[in-house]
Structure 1
Amino acid sequence: MSTPNEQDRPPGSDAAQAAQPGDLATALAAAEARALESRDLYMRALAEMENIRKRASRDVEQAHKYAVDRFANDLVAVKDSLELGLLAAGDAQTLRAGTEATLKLLAKAFEKNGLTEIDPLGQQFNPEHHEAMAMQPSAEHVPDSVTQVVQKGYQLNGRLLRPARVIVARAP
């Protein structure tokens, strides 16, 4: 028969399973060591994240500061060409040839840097890329088509930089 003390204990708890004070101290020391290790890992991760944030911030600052570096180098050649053209401008034909050469240099610089021209003459009016300056009645043009380009537009790597300013045909 069991004693009253044995009946009051929950099932599965016998004296052999009771933790000894030495075992508790060892478990506590191990838990504290794991907690210190976890804290150390956390602090290192926090420091690494701060370094990454600072590095990214510095990279963004440098990118903003030197974003047009390549484009600026291309434009220096255009300026040099204009200066040479002014020095050599003795007659209108020489001046025209120099201006055409400079325009080609500029177009090449635009192309290399992702700057494309929007010249919509004869195309259907597109309000996303064109700005209508006026509508003009026209029998020879399709209604809502561009009859005249007042100012060309530009896109930079597919993003609209400036819309083309146009005159649009309408039915007479």
Structure 2
Amino acid sequence: MSDPNSDTQFGGPDEKTQVLPETAVALVELERLQIELAASEERAKNHWEQYLRALADVDNVRKRAAKDLESARQFAVERFAQELVGVKDSLELAVQNASGANAGKADVASLVEGQNATLRLLSKAFEKAQIEEVNPEGKPFNPELHEAMMAQPSDAAPNTVLAVVQRGYTLNGRLLRAARVVVSAPRS
């Protein structure tokens, strides 16, 4: 009663045994892929969170650096200003001694002594602030550090600084003010 075509037509026992292992393999592969997908999604989520934290850290560092820079800019001259307060006190004392009720009592020697003391205070303040004089007398003219006010015929080598009209200053090697100088020129 069994028709040889009926097994093939309705999927006989041989066909079922072949389909089931393929389905089981596919299910196992599907489960493995789902686990792998979940793990990849978790890693992606962790990486995204790490990225956001790093972005926030960079933003915080940038804000802190800007704040520190502003603070440094605001208080950079504080030490120098403290040094200058003493210089101002000394100058006020000299003016007080030279004028008003003390005018007759002040002598030139004590005024000069006071001015020298004030100059020493100012020089120390400059030294602490790393402000250096540019006093190039007798040296070759350097347009980066000197401003020629005039050329004067001289026996000195051409473009030699003969005299300093106004000293220049540098701050940490950077020019604050060029020295104004008289430069030698060849005799005609």
TM over 0.5: yes
Residue 103 of structure 1 corresponds to: 119
Between structures 1 and 2, the one with greater helix share: 2
Structure 1 CA distance for aligned equivalents of residues 29 and 142 of structure 2: 84
Residue 137 of structure 1 corresponds to: 153
Kindly indicate whether residue 69 of structure 2 is the aligned counterpart of residue 45 of structure 1.
no
Structure 1 CA distance for aligned equivalents of residues 25 and 183 of structure 2: 93
Match of 2:170 among 155, 158, 167: 155
Structure 2 CA distance for aligned equivalents of residues 98 and 122 of structure 1: 31
Q: Where do 5+ consecutive residues of structure 1 fail to align? A: 1-14
The answer to which of 31-40 and 80-89 deviates more is 80-89
Residue 146 of structure 1 corresponds to: 161
Structure 2 CA distance for aligned equivalents of residues 136 and 17 of structure 1: 103
Kindly indicate whether residue 82 of structure 2 is the aligned counterpart of residue 73 of structure 1.
yes
Q: Report the AA paired with residue 151 of structure 2.
A: M
Match of 2:130 among 114, 120, 127: 114
Q: Over alpha carbons, which structure has the higher Rg?
A: 2
Q: Report the AA paired with residue 127 of structure 1.
A: P
1:53-91 CA distance string (max 9 Å, x none): 100010111111111111111111111111122223322
Structure 1 CA distance for aligned equivalents of residues 181 and 79 of structure 2: 31
Identity of aligned residues (%): 52
Residue 186 of structure 2 corresponds to: 171
Aligned 8 A contact 1:88 1:94 in 2: no
Kindly indicate whether residue 79 of structure 2 is the aligned counterpart of residue 85 of structure 1.
no
Match of 1:58 among 61, 67, 70: 67
Residue 5 of structure 1 corresponds to: none
Provide the secondary structure at the position in 1 that maps to 2:176.
strand
TM-score under structure 2 normalisation? Answer: 0.78
TM-score under structure 1 normalisation? Answer: 0.85
Q: Residues 17, 118 of structure 1: CA spacing in aligned structure 2 closer, same or farther, 3 A cutoff? A: farther
Structure 2 CA distance for aligned equivalents of residues 61 and 70 of structure 1: 16
Q: Report the AA paired with residue 146 of structure 1.
A: V
- C-alpha deviation, 1:155, in angstroms: 0.7
RMSD over aligned Cα atoms = 1.6
Count of aligned positions: 157
Structure 2 CA distance for aligned equivalents of residues 43 and 80 of structure 1: 56
Aligned 8 A contact 1:146 1:166 in 2: yes
Q: Report the AA paired with residue 134 of structure 1.
A: M
